[in-house]
Structure 1
Amino acid sequence: MTVNDVSLAVFAADGPALARDQDATDLIGQLWGQDVDMIVIPTTRLADDFFALRTRVAGEIAQKFANYRLRVAVLGDIAEHVARSEAMASFVHESNRGTQLWFVPTLDELTGRLSRP
């Protein structure tokens, strides 16, 4: 799928969870050689530790994708995680202000965001 010249790799909601940076490396390996600008990962594919910032899982996974110059969109409802943690709420807010990591509730919202100048 391509939106506004951004090539997306949208992963299925079911499948192995990303629980550590090696899992991100494995995911990147699956995409090697493909023309992909952004990876779309459903929240169901993220281990619970991803949403507990004290574990550093979110930072390690995000950094792994950044090292390979791949943008990431986390797709799905994360309201419960944000409500439980002020740190997570800040992380999501700051991430969504940038271009590397976005948290979006729906694919329609992601495509709308990518369509904006």
Structure 2
Amino acid sequence: MTSLEKIHDVPVLVCAADGPAIEGERDAVDLIGDAGYLGARWVVVPAQRFGADFFQLRTRVAGHIVQKFAQYGVGLVVLGDISAHVGASSALADFVRESNGGRQLWFLTDREQLADRLRG
């Protein structure tokens, strides 16, 4: 289940934690389609909705998913605690740090961080 919310006047599609897994490009395109239909500029997906492959950069799953969002001009927020994944991979830690410095993909721990990011 998803819902459209406005956070600091930014339309955001927020996905429920108990939805289907986001495993590849097809799942990403479905979310992007929903976002486009509702006019959302960002899609927020709880971290637990992503399979382990997403957090193992060598699989390229994250790259393919993020690329789809970028192609359609929709931002992606991975929301939740991913510290176990980051602790296991310095490459992922670098990817998260670099992504959080941009305007396409953010890894955030909670809704408060999201609100702070969208405020500015």
1:1-117 pair list within 5 angstroms: 1-116=5-120
What whole-Å deviation, never above 9, does each CA across 1:19-70 have from its counterpart, x for those lacking one? 1111111222333421100000000111110000000000100000111110
Deviant stretches of 4+, over 6 Å:
none
Structure 1: distance between partners of 2:31 and 2:8? 24
**Alpha-carbon RMSD:** 1.0
Task: Mark the runs of 5 or more structure 1 residues left unpaired by the alignment.
Answer: none
User: How many pairs does the alignment contain?
Assistant: 116
Percent sequence identity is: 49
Structure 2: distance between partners of 1:29 and 1:20? 15
Structure 1: distance between partners of 2:53 and 2:94? 17
Assess if the C-alpha contact under 8 Å between 2:35 and 2:43 holds in 1. Answer: no
Structure 1: distance between partners of 2:107 and 2:37? 26
TM-score by length of 2: 0.92
Structure 2: distance between partners of 1:114 and 1:29? 21
Task: Mark the runs of 5 or more structure 2 residues left unpaired by the alignment.
Answer: none
